[in-house]
Chains A and B, each alone.
Chain A
């Protein structure tokens, strides 16, 4: 029988890997050198989290699974990350080629996700899967910094020039609806209960709302009302961007299976 917490572990691993891969796209392209290094640091934090989680998942799964086979040899429908994390660094109107990568989109996404991750890691440190609790204890320190970095930038952009305000608000409008997936019938509530962790939707959601609201207010940004499309990456049904992300990330491992260096 599969370990009951396995779907949760894979979900967390996929979140970390996919966002890590996305943010790494800024490497060599960030608006200033210092931010280039900062975003690459965050990517490495996330990929580090993904590795620990995949190692744990592979152990739970047995049957020859490894962190590499989980990261590099699964197809998009097997990935369980939130759709939010696979979206490109620009709004829905990519065709206007205003910008290939929009810094505000990246930072608003990190802001929305790291607030959720803070709540998740905090809860998991209390769980009775000791390995997952240890991973959570390590990850929460990194996530606190990601949150600080991203929310600081959201305030700077939102409360900055009219152009940065416009872009930050557009990013909030574009990305906020995808956060509904965080709370949509918590797919992993049962898995979490098995390891003694209560995800209590209302409590988790109200903590998240408070974190987000305080920063948005300081940033002069407005939160769009909930509703509309509900994404479902967490169920393996992804946006059209996911396969492009995976094919770039997995190309080496797929072309040269079992390659070592």
Chain B
């Protein structure tokens, strides 16, 4: 019972939607004993300055992350393919903000 995993609350990632219509954004993490507890703590830790209108919490253990040593294989091949950026296209005025 002396390992951290047994005595520490699990880690949760917190996502905040700053206003209606915008996406939830990752803003940090916290320790909590379960999802509803994490939600309460997220409210107290991450929305004290009117940062949000909606909260998500996700157990960090549920997130599968890419490995740092895969970085070159995963991301570098995109670096010389500038034609994939939409800046080569003209956006009609009436489309508005994209």
Contacts and interface: CB of A to CB of B under 8 A. Distances in A.
A149 B44 CA distance: 10
Interface size class of B (residues with CB under 8 A): 10 to 19
Interface in B17-56: 30-33, 36-37, 40-41, 43-45, 48
Interface string A38-78: 10010000000000000000000000000000000000000
A209 B9 CA distance: 33
Contacts of A148: 40
Contacts of B36: 152
A37 B45 contact: yes
Interface in A23-46: 32, 34-35, 37-38, 41
Interface residues of A, number: 11
A166 interface: no
Interface string A129-161: 000000000000000010011001000100000
A152 B31 contact: no
B17 to A, nearest CB: 19
A41 B31 contact: no
B44 A37 contact: yes
A148 B39 CA distance: 12
Contacts of A38: 40-41, 44-45
Nearest to B33: A156
A126 B67 CA distance: 59
A157 to B, nearest CB: 11
A152 B35 CA distance: 12
A93 B50 CA distance: 42
B31 A32 contact: yes
B31 A34 contact: yes
Contacts of B43: 145
Q: Interface centre among A34, A38, A152, by most B CB within 10 Å?
A: A34
21 contacts: A32-B9, A32-B31, A34-B32, A34-B41, A34-B44, A34-B45, A35-B41, A37-B44, A37-B45, A37-B48, A38-B41, A38-B44, A38-B45, A41-B44, A145-B43, A148-B40, A149-B40, A152-B36, A152-B37, A156-B33, A156-B37
